[in-house]
Amino acid sequence: MIALLAPGQGAQSPGMLAPWLALRGAQRRIAAWSDIIGLDLLRLGTTAATEEIKDTAVTQPLVVALSLLVAEELTRRVELPTDAPITGHSVGELAAAAVARVLTADDAVALAAVRGHEMARACALAPTGMSAVLGGDPDDVMAVLAELGLEAANYNGAGQIVVAGSLDALATLAAHKPARTRVLPLPVAGAFHTRFMAPAEHALTQYATHLTAKNPARPLLSNADGEVVDDGTEMLHRLVTQVTRPVRWDSCMATLGALAVTATVELPPAGTLSGLVKRAMKGTVTLALKTPEDLDKAAGFIRDQLGTTRCATVYSGADLSGTLV
């Protein structure tokens, strides 16, 4: 079985939208989404500098818009099986929900814009941040986090936990890190997926009352616990509360394994999730959509997966390290 993955914040790079604008109707689609959210996604995705697209209020709708633009083109080229699961990492879950038809693409991009704006506002209320903890014993790591008042924000699997909290506590963690770990500060605005995002959750709760959620048209995995959610209203609730809850990407990968997933296609900006899958789900074939030329590869890759059980490692994407938040 093949699964579709949607990346989150941290996967962005300057100019990432540019190569995809040659796709049929792409510029018109991006312009329409720009009008909906009041941001010039065309400029932000082509000529804006790294510092500008690191802004949470910009990054989140830009990442979701790119993922959905390419997902729409992919489904024009090949029919995805209805039993093919989909999941996204953090804000990527909004793109996954749209591909599963819980939300319209317009609503998903708009929700991402509100989410990014409100999370940026919440970040401004206190000096907080995030760090990746690589390696070590998980119990030892969690004990140190409890001592310092830090929270595990992302369980990314493959020995990677992203922690969040006050900048002072993160500095103490870096100076007195748990045994056999590396601690890497992340260039983000604040403590995502923690109690510090409560104001953002409140604003999203109010905004979500104006959205209509449908039941998923394909298996949709939730970051909350990795479980398949079959109720649209429940999924929308999870998308809202996700901003204050940890991302259980490790649980999502465990469920993909339980569903007998043997191959994944990662929507752009792609690479990081494919790397995590390759390290945690040994033997899984991955394809990261990095350029428009990869779309035909993906279409053939999906047809091969449907028609035969042979290994298609010729399509395997690079094993890239990275951290999503």
| pLDDT value of residue 319 | 31
Q: What is the rounded average pLDDT of the residues 197-218?
A: 97
Whether 103 and 13 have beta carbons less than 8 Å apart is answered as no
The band of 314, judged by pLDDT with boundaries at 50, 70 and 90, is very low
Does residue 311 surpass a pLDDT of 60?
no
Q: In the Cβ-directed half-sphere of 27, how many Cα atoms lie within 13 Å?
A: 6
| pLDDT value of residue 135 | 94
The band of 318, judged by pLDDT with boundaries at 50, 70 and 90, is very low
Least confident range from 54-63, 82-91, 296-305: namely 296-305
| pLDDT value of residue 265 | 97
- 13 carries an active-site annotation: no
Domains of the chain: 2-123+195-315 (3.40.366.10), 128-185 (3.30.70.250)
pLDDT digits (tens, 9 = 90+) for 246-295: 999 999 999 999 999 999 999 999 999 999 999 999 999 999 999 999 99
Neighbours of 147 (CB within 10 A): 12
Q: Which listed residue (89, 193, 222, 251) is catalytic?
A: 193
Least confident range from 22-31, 75-84, 112-121, 259-268: namely 75-84
Nearest to 159 by CA among 183, 176, 175: 183
Round to whole Å and give the CA distance between 168 and 151. 14
pLDDT digits (tens, 9 = 90+) for 138-181: 999 999 999 999 999 999 998 899 999 999 999 999 999 999 99
Does residue 315 surpass a pLDDT of 70?
no
Round to whole Å and give the CA distance between 11 and 72. 20
Task: Please tell me which residue, 320 or 57, carries the higher pLDDT value.
Answer: 57
CB-based burial label for 283 (10 Å; 0-12, 13-18, 19+): exposed
Q: Which listed residue (34, 67, 90, 251) is catalytic?
A: 90
| pLDDT value of residue 316 | 34
- 193 carries an active-site annotation: yes
Does residue 224 surpass a pLDDT of 80?
yes
| Cα separation values, 31 from 37, 41, 104, 250, 296, Å | 10, 7, 16, 36, 25
CB-based burial label for 287 (10 Å; 0-12, 13-18, 19+): buried
